[in-house]
């Protein structure tokens, strides 16, 4: 099994975590939602797999390129 890092593309606040460790996700499924400049931006799974780690909590501030989750494929 290979672990894939899920990274943010923008700086923002973690507004809502949609998935939990152990959840199965498809490619482009929303894992969490960031809030930046009053806009909601989804962070999506790059590949199909299972969430093995969530590295942030709701309310955390993240910068571009932050690893927020890991998926096992």
| Residue-by-residue pLDDT tens, the chain, 73 positions | 899 999 999 999 999 999 999 999 999 999 999 999 999 999 999 999 999 999 999 999 999 999 999 999 9
Q: Return the sign of the alpha-carbon dihedral for residues 50, 53, 55, 58.
A: positive
Q: Which residues of 19-53 are buried (b: 16+ CB within 10 A; e: fewer)?
A: beeeeebeeebebbbbeeeeeebebbbbeebebee
What pTM does this model have? 0.93
> Could you tell me the domains of the chain?
3-72 (2.40.50.100)
Q: pLDDT at position 49, please?
A: 98
């Amino acid at each position: 099994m290979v672990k894939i890092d899920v990274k943010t593309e923008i700086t923002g606040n973690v507004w809502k975590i949609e998935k939990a460790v152990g959840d199965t996700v498809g490619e482009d499924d929303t894992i969490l939602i960031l809030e930046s400049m009053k806009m909601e931006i989804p962070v999506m799974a790059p590949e199909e797999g299972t969430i093995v780690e969530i590295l942030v909590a709701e309310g955390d501030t993240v910068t571009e390129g932050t690893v927020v989750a890991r998926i096992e494929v």
